[in-house]
Amino acid sequence: MMAGITGVGEIMVAMGKRKNGLGEGGTAMVQPRPAPRPAKKRQPRGLLILHEDQDILVVAKPAGLLTIGTDREKSRTAHYLLNDYVRKGDPKSRHRVYVVHRLDKDTSGILLFAKSEQAKKFLQEHWPQTEKHYLAIVHGRLTPKEATITSYLAENAAQKVYSTPDPAKGKLSQTAYKVLQESKGLSLVDIHLLTGRKHQIRVHFAEKGHPVAGDKKYSNTAPVGKRLALHARSLSFIHPHSGKEMRFELEMPEEFARLLGK
């Protein structure tokens, strides 16, 4: 379970000029359009809604929940649960949510969904301008304490991601980080994700010799804790209708505090 949440009920919306959202241009102050919320019994199980309006849904995803379905798992996903939520249990309803981005199954944190194809298109087209920060606990002490890791990431047939020196074989990937705390042979790191490649954070820190705690795929280090210590802490983006900046932020998960001995 996550610690207190700063974003619930306190959504910071920049009141500057519109930035070419779905509406027309100009400087009109148009707020996100509120959406009626279903009765409490229709809230999505296991997902905390941070914000909902007619265009978007922002939720806090727990570790262990898929973002979208796989061949093996179709229903125990954030996408499925939110589709059921907006349809109010009616499988014939035309209402649905659209995936804007993904978080790994074992990563917790902020997840954004669109409620129309148009909103999804806008958010994905503006994704490079979206600011994404993560918290991670990694093994060892990083040197330097603040830097940007850059490499070209590729994926092999076993679906394992790795860095390659050949730009033609990989995608440019950049991960900025800053050490916040060191304790018990572990480091708490704030990560600014400059690009969003598959497993990017996990691969970059593992190849640096400081794998994320609890990473069974990219680490040979003895397990620490009960989960992957990676948390999507904050997300800032332009609302597709109002054109205003919205920012959501979660506090550090309780499990992280226990690992650090707080």
| 3 state DSSP class of 57 | strand
Mapping DSSP onto H, E and C, the string for the chain reads: CCCCCCCCCCCEECCCCCCCCCCCCCCCCCCCCECCCCCHHHCCCCCEEEEEECCEEEEEECCCCECCCCCCCCCCEHHHHHHHHHCCCCCCCCCCCEECCCCCCCCEEEEEEECCHHHHHHHHHCHHHCEEEEEEEEECCCCCCEEEEEEEEEECCCCCEEEECCCCCCEEEEEEEEEEEEECCEEEEEEEECCCCCCHHHHHHHHCCCCECCCCCCCCCCCCCCCCCEEEEEEEEECCCCCCEEEEECCCCHHHHHHHCC
Paired sense of beta strands 186-193 and 171-183, if any? antiparallel
| Domain annotation covers residue 174 | yes
As for how many domains the chain has, the answer is 1
Is position 104 annotated as part of the catalytic site?
yes
Note whether residue 221 is domain-resident.
yes
Per-residue pLDDT of the chain (262 residues; tens, 9 = 90+): 333 334 333 434 343 344 554 443 333 334 556 655 555 556 788 899 999 999 999 999 999 999 997 667 666 899 999 999 998 867 778 899 999 999 999 999 999 999 999 999 999 999 989 999 999 999 999 999 999 999 999 999 999 999 999 999 999 999 999 999 999 999 999 999 999 999 999 999 999 999 999 999 999 887 788 899 999 999 999 999 999 999 999 999 999 999 998 6
- Within a domain: residue 7? no
Give me the phi and psi of 137, to 5 degrees please. -110, 120
Residue 160 located in a structural domain: yes
* Residue 3, domain member (yes or no): no
Q: What is the pTM of this model?
A: 0.84
Cα distance between residue 238 and residue 124, in whole Å:
11
How many helices and strands in the chain, by DSSP H and E?
A: 4, 12
Q: Is the Cα dihedral 171, 216, 71, 111 positive or negative?
A: negative
* Residue 61 in domain: yes
Quote the CA–CA distance of 176 and 146 in Å, as a whole number: 8
User: Which residue segment(s) compose the domain that 46 sits in?
Assistant: 12-21+35-260
Position 119 in a domain: yes
Q: List the CATH number of the domain containing 165.
A: 3.30.2350.10
> Which is catalytic among the residues 53, 84, 104, 215?
104
In a domain, 2, yes or no: no
